[in-house]
Amino acid sequence: MHVGGNDSNVFQRASASRALLAAMTDLAERLGESLEALENCPLADAYRRAQAVYGVDLPDFWRIWGEWQLPADLSTLGEL
């Protein structure tokens, strides 16, 4: 699955929102890694890792992040 968006958007604890910090903290725990190990991780990579770890139980944060980042299905627009 291709995740669009700008891979230069990376996780940095110092500037992360509370929601992102909580999501990354939980992801680090699930991965068995430290939060520091995820510092500067591109968010697209974090999303892919979250998909792999959580599977169908993907938390709302990552589900919504993916909805905003994945290319929209434009097939419903018909021929332009």
When pLDDT is cut at 50, 70 and 90, the band that residue 78 belongs to is low
Query: 10 in helix, strand or coil?
Result: strand
For residue 42, list its beta bridge partners: 10
Cα–Cα dist 34/30, whole Å: 10
Cα–Cα dist 55/33, whole Å: 18
Domain that holds residue 57: 13-69
Q: Is residue 49 part of a domain?
A: yes
Q: Is residue 1 part of a domain?
A: no
Domains contained in the chain, number:
1
Cα–Cα dist 54/49, whole Å: 9
When pLDDT is cut at 50, 70 and 90, the band that residue 7 belongs to is very low
Q: Is residue 48 part of a domain?
A: yes
For residue 10, list its beta bridge partners: 42
Q: Is residue 66's pLDDT more than 80? A: yes
Q: Is residue 5 part of a domain?
A: no
pTM score over 0.75: yes
Q: Is residue 41's pLDDT more than 90? A: yes
Q: Is residue 1's pLDDT more than 50? A: no
Q: Is residue 8 part of a domain?
A: no
Q: Is residue 42 part of a domain?
A: yes
Q: Is residue 4 part of a domain?
A: no
